[in-house]
Amino acid sequence: MNKKVTNFLCLLLPAFALILGLNANTNGEPIKTGFIAWPELKNFSNKWLKNQYSGDDSFIHADLDLNQNVDLADFSLWSKYWRKNKSYTISYDPYKNVNWNRWRRALAQHHDHMGRLAINRIRAYDQAGYNVIVPLDYAGKKSGGSNYCDYRLWPVYKYLSGFKSDEAVLASLNNIRLFIPAMEEIGCHHITSPFLTTYIELWEPAYSPIKQQWHYQTSQECIDLINQYGGMAIIAHPTEKSNYYLNLQNYKGIEIINAHYYRLWFLGQSQLDYNEHFQAVWDDLLTNKDTKIWGFGVNDWWGPWNNSNEAFIDSGKILVMVPSYSIADYRNSLEKGSFFAIQDCGAGKQNKGKYPIISSIIVSNHSITIYTNGQVNWIANGQIIAQGNSIDMAEYPIETGLKYVRAEISNAYGTIFTQPWTLFTIPE
């Protein structure tokens, strides 16, 4: 095709977006003032690709909408990747804004039972090097009796003797910098509720004849209440088949490592390695539901306060990248997925924390490089697709239908799990 014609078309496509009122900024970020339906977009793009037109190289990136609608400005900005030999592009990077040299790596625990509350358990976490913990226990089921709290364990100092504030508790510790409110909501499927300070409860008419605003009857209602009152809903130990979780909406993550279930398998009390099951459920959800469901590691009854040297003790945790130790920064990193799940399998306290170290992650339009001292497996749609520190998604034909890619980095002491990167292609 004549070069002048090709250049004219490269200019025409963004102009067409402007005519429709779908403007683009000078920095290549689209301003979304309207949408075009996928069938129309597909029809337009097929005509465009048929003639092997190429995109305008001045457009280097776009804020792609992922809700099954894309505006035409997005189309024009991403057009440079929609060639005859189309390939995957990374449209969401959970670690995009992390400053690997300056940000802190906050070792955190989101699900372990701290009693009502027990300072010795808090100090055990402090001695194990944790920076963030939740004062968690079972909550919200009157028929369960005294096993379930009918209140929130928040603020922390009110449930400890000898302290007048949470700041005073933190001042007595060496490593812990933040307490995060959370409970394990037990009424239906277990769901943890970080950042939630409002008490919620399963509605049981025998105990509460009139349903209150803070009552729920189903797992979905529990998730909705957590979100409504400012919390973040995380599915605990997803033992059900993945269809159960596919039908739930608006939760932010699921547990993929749980020390309690690791213990059952480790001691031969279960023939099923539930952690493998949890990860299979995660991959199914990432493939068939949402690529922004984050994976968590937790201890669930087997934290560092246990007097045992077994590998399952203190084996589930997360490492959150934060610019500062503030609840706002911490939550922002969790929301974006700027953290890692860890299975720390070192036996004995002297071998904990020896899992691989991730120094930094570099992401381009279609490639990812992880700087680490561990062995890297790359997983997409539930299958290992590559090994090694780097992966180039341009090498994979889009006919494989990949939705995301994530990495597992391992050594003899454990595995660190990245959160998934979302992959972008033109939908069928």
Give CA 3 to chain center in angstroms: 46
323 and 404 belong to one structural domain:
yes
Amino acid at 413: Y
55 and 108 belong to one structural domain:
no
Amino acid at 134: V
Domain boundary among 51, 84, 117: 84
How many domains does the structure of the chain reveal? Answer: 2
pLDDT at 8: 38
pLDDT at 29: 38
pTM score, two decimals? 0.81
pLDDT at 274: 97
67 and 120 belong to one structural domain:
no
pLDDT at 73: 53
* C-beta atoms surrounding 299 within 10 Å: 27
pLDDT at 72: 52
In a domain, 95, yes or no: no
108 and 156 belong to one structural domain:
yes
8 A C-beta contact, residue 92 and residue 66: yes
pLDDT at 43: 56
pLDDT at 86: 66
pLDDT at 33: 40
303 and 252 belong to one structural domain:
yes
Three-state DSSP class for residue 198:
coil
51 and 117 belong to one structural domain:
no
- What tokens does 273 get? 């390695």
pLDDT at 36: 44
Amino acid at 361: I
CATH classification of the domain holding 363: 3.20.20.140
Q: Which domain holds residue 60?
A: 3-84
pLDDT mean values, one per 10 residues, the chain (428 residues): 40 42 38 45 53 40 44 52 65 97 98 93 98 97 94 97 97 98 98 98 97 98 98 98 98 98 96 97 98 98 95 98 98 98 96 98 96 98 97 90 97 98 72
In a domain, 98, yes or no: no
- Look up residue 87 and give its DSSP letter: B
Domain boundary among 35, 53, 84: 84
Quote the strand ranges of 122-278, DSSP E.
Answer: 132-133, 138-139, 178-179, 184-185, 191-192, 201-202, 215-216, 234-235, 253-258
8 A C-beta contact, residue 75 and residue 41: yes
160 and 296 belong to one structural domain:
yes
- Look up residue 128 and give its DSSP letter: T
37 and 114 belong to one structural domain:
no
pLDDT at 40: 53
Compute the distance between CA of residue 13 and CA of residue 18 in angstroms, rounded to an integer: 9
348 and 202 belong to one structural domain:
yes
170 and 65 belong to one structural domain:
no
